[in-house]
Structure 1
Amino acid sequence: MEEHRPVTIYDIAERLNLATSTISRALKDHHSISDKTIKKVKKTAEEMGFVPNTLAAGLRGNKTKTIGVLIPTITQPFLSSLISGIEVTARKSDYSVIIMQSHDSYEDEVNMTKSLYSSRVSGVICSLAMETKDTSHFQQFSNNNIPLVFVDRVPKGYNTFRVVIDNYTAGYKATKHLIDQGCKRIAHLTAGAEFGNLYKERKRGYLDALTDHGLPVKEEWIINLKAMTYDAGVKACQKLFGLKVPPDGLFAPGDILAVSAVQTAKKRGIKVPQDFAVIGFNNDPISEIIEPNISTITHPADKMGKAAANIVIDTIGSRKEEEAKEITFLNTEVLIRESSKRA
């Protein structure tokens, strides 16, 4: 079977006995080509099944109308919603989206930024990998005027666009809710202060809420995780429950961690929320499926994705250099469910 080959402007030129440059200009409605020739060329192109190679055209013009999205994983509901917001907004402006997953690996993230750059993307939206400390691999975009927006997990000290929530206030709200339910020994899972601002700010809100309400802060009740996974949460909670004075409440910075806490408690015969109240973060679907339902903090992922995409598209379309800015979503709310509701 003969392999089907795409029709090119050379094929059209041969059919019409015209120069390829004439064909190319006619397809673009160039003023130097007569209306009669333009009509003839377009009619022939349609008959022959010619499809313009927009990627090649984009590479020649250094623009592909493509936004690169680099995230830790697509399996987290928050990040799935973020991608949805980006994609919907991009499509409205005729941009396509390339999605890459770092799986929280610094090395993978570095390689993927190289791949996105070599693909000549028009802009990049990124939520950093857990392992990432050095962000110099993003400089290739900044140095070449390719709009770069960090979302949610954002680096410290990198002067570019960022879209975040008020993580400090969200952390404070979550902890205060547990205090309002009568918790006196509140634990917290975090990712370590060395990683960006996201978990650091949630932890700061947790600490200030305890201090403001005269409750103790104990290092043994604060556990740094290397990964925000179910298994990591189980190990951390087993450690907490094994303490001489175990906590009676937990603020988990992700719903999957809250789920691991609830299930670990139940296996040990610890009553939730009577003996151990739990609140998570993100309002993932799993938070409403598990028994008891998980109290959580809302996270406007879809809106954040739309905001990030709009920044990229607006910056590409602007003739002047845009000043880097931060968009902070303040509308996080406490959703009170069974896992923490004592009163």
Structure 2
Amino acid sequence: MRNRAEKTIVDIAEALSLSVSTVSRALNDHPNISVQTKDKVRKMARKLGYRPNTLAAGLRSNKSKTVGLIVPRISMFYPAAITTIVQNRLQEYGYHLIICQSNDSYEQEVALVNTLYSARVEALAVSTTLYTTDFSHFDLFKKNNIPVVFFDRVPGNYEGKIVCGDDEDGGYQGAKHLLEKGCKDIVYISGPLTCSLYTRRLEGFKKALQEYKQSYKKSRVFFQELTKENALQTCKKVFSKKQWPDAIFATNDTTAITVLEYCRNHGINVPGQVKIVGYSNDPRTEIVTPSITSIDQDPTTTAERVVAALLELIQQKSATATKQTREIIPIHLIERASSK
């Protein structure tokens, strides 16, 4: 037997005195190969440390059985929950997932799109950065008929398949809940409006104010990256003034939890003096004290629909789109102690 660092099916064939074609069929579970032969081949493959060259196989068949996924940050609850479900579901259908994070960098997102194209993924699922307004880097996939499914943070008017939560209704339900509790001075903390997700949530927030005949106060609305540091700075601005708000609606749960922490540290009673609503139903919102009311985005359903869209487009073998198709996942407000 030849002594090479990387073993191939030729080495397995020589070790077992079988033909290369028989070994190849055995490794691919061909029905014409006996169970005994398959067992022998697999045992020898493990013994020799054989690794199948899936890239080469993909080049021959034009099917890599691999899907790319780009999310802003894997550390965030919502994209992490979706990533886990997408990976598990795709594995059930024999697909592998390459997981990438853009770190909310547009330049990094562009680089990742090109890298995944070079890796010959069969499809791509993307939740874009906060600052992605030019989607032309996805043209590479579209021109080569490789499906792209956008979810959560999605384009406003770029052609393709969209799966996202009902963000306008989320903004509306959060504000409506606080207004129904008698709140009249609501601070609204939003992400940057370069991201259409936050544009839609703001529209819902304004709709609820209008319905309850409350004015939209620009001084009570903040647009920022929804980090703990930014949330603390906003709390300092809001509570340093003589007139405190009676509610804060934060459009992510990291911000809502930070607001709660600030209030607790400064003797501000929640919900007695200030009511709080968050967004995403991060598991942490249920275990802090008091627990935080939040908008549930149903990551399970979203992930299931993303997988269904990917598989459907892969089977169609075409990514050509002349319009945008949008699938909206309903949201639900989960009332907890912070707004009672």
What's the CA shift for 1:17?
9.1
Greater mean alpha carbon deviation, residues 118-127 or residues 58-67: 58-67
**1:126 counterpart letter in structure 2:** V
Kindly indicate whether the alpha-carbon contact (under 8 Å) linking 2:150 and 2:163 is maintained by their aligned counterparts in 1: yes
Contact 1:23 1:41 in 2 (8 A): no
How is 1:1-343 mapped onto 2 (pairs within 5 angstroms)?
Answer: 5-11=5-11, 23-24=20-21, 27-28=24-25, 45-46=41-42, 48-49=44-45, 51-195=51-195, 197-225=196-224, 227-318=225-316, 325-330=325-330, 332-341=331-340
State the AA in 1 paired with 2:252.
G
Match of 2:29 in 1: none
CA contact (8 A) 2:149 2:306 kept: yes
1:320–1:248 Cα change, 3 Å: same
Residue aligned with 2:98, SS: strand
| C-alpha spacing 1:299/1:99, structure 2 compared with 1 (3 Å) | same
Name the SS for the 2:62 alignment partner.
Answer: coil
Say if 1:47 and 1:168 are closer, same or farther in 2 by CA, change over 3 A: closer
Answer yes or no: is the 8 Å Cα contact 1:86–1:305 preserved in 2: yes
- Secondary structure at the aligned position of 1:325 is classed as strand
CA distance in 2, matches of 1:273, 1:43: 65
Cα 1:242–1:17 change in 2 (3 A) is same
Find the aligned partners of 1:118 and 1:216 in 2 and give their Cα distance. Answer: 52
Once residues 151 and 160 of structure 1 are traced to their aligned partners in structure 2, the CA distance between those partners, rounded to angstroms, is: 11
Q: 1:7: Cα distance to partner?
A: 2.6
Matched-pair contact (CA < 8 Å) for 1:297–1:334: yes
Q: What code does the residue aligned with 2:214 have?
A: L
Partner Cα distance (2:11, 2:23) in 1: 14
Partner Cα distance (1:113, 1:28) in 2: 34
Number of aligned pairs? Answer: 328
Root mean square deviation of aligned Cα: 2.7
> What's the CA shift for 1:313?
1.3
Aligned counterparts of 2:214 and 2:17: Cα–Cα separation in 1:
86
Distance 2:111 2:318 in 1: 30
Asked if the contact 1:273–1:338 (Cα under 8 Å) also holds between the matched residues in 2, the reply is: yes
Write the distance in 1 (CA, Å) between the matches of 2:137 and 2:204: 31
Q: Structure 1 residues 13, 251: CA separation in 2 closer, same or farther (over 3 Å shift)? A: same
Say if 1:85 and 1:303, in contact at 8 Å, map to a contact too.
no
Once the two structures are superposed, residues 137-170 of structure 1 have per-residue CA deviations (whole angstroms, 9 ceiling, x without a partner) of 1111111111101110001211011101111111
Aligned counterparts of 2:35 and 2:78: Cα–Cα separation in 1: 49
Q: Does structure 2 retain, via aligned residues, the 8 Å contact 1:315–1:322?
A: no
Cα distance, 1:160–1:273 mapped onto 2, change above 3 Å: same
**In 2, Cα distance between the equivalents of 1:309 and 1:80?**
15
8 Å CA contact 1:83–1:302 kept in 2: the answer is no
Q: Note closer, same or farther for the CA distance 1:41–1:259 as it changes in structure 2 (3 Å cut).
A: closer
Preserved CA contact (<8 Å) 2:69 2:99:
yes
How far apart, CA to CA, are the structure 2 residues paired with 1:333 and 1:176? Answer: 13
Q: TM (normalized to structure 1)?
A: 0.87
Partner secondary structure for residue 168 of structure 2: helix
SS at match of 2:171: helix
Deviations 1:212-264 (A, max 9, x none): 10112110100010x22111111112212233533211111111111111112
Which secondary structure state, in structure 1, belongs to the residue aligned with residue 339 of structure 2? coil
How far, CA to CA, are the matches of 1:45 and 1:189 in structure 2? 61
Amino acid aligned to 2:245:
P
Q: Is the 8 A contact 1:12 1:44 kept in 2?
A: no
In 2, Cα distance between equivalents of 1:40 and 1:260: 61
Quote how far apart the aligned CAs of 1:12 are: 5.4
Q: Point out where structure 1 has 5 or more consecutive residues left out of the alignment.
A: 30-34
Q: What is the percentage of aligned positions where both structures have the same residue?
A: 33
What is the one-letter code of the residue matched to 2:191? A
Distance of 2:162 and 2:22 partners within structure 1:
41
> Which runs of 5 or more structure 2 residues have no equivalent in the other structure?
27-31
Conserved 8 A contact 2:165-2:329: yes
On the 8 A contact 2:228/2:255 being kept in 1, the answer is yes
Q: Which amino acid aligns with 2:311?
A: I
Contact 2:295 2:333 in 1 (8 A): yes
Counterpart amino acid of residue 300 in structure 2: D
| 1:125–1:308 contact (8 Å) kept in structure 2 | yes
Match of 1:32 in 2: none
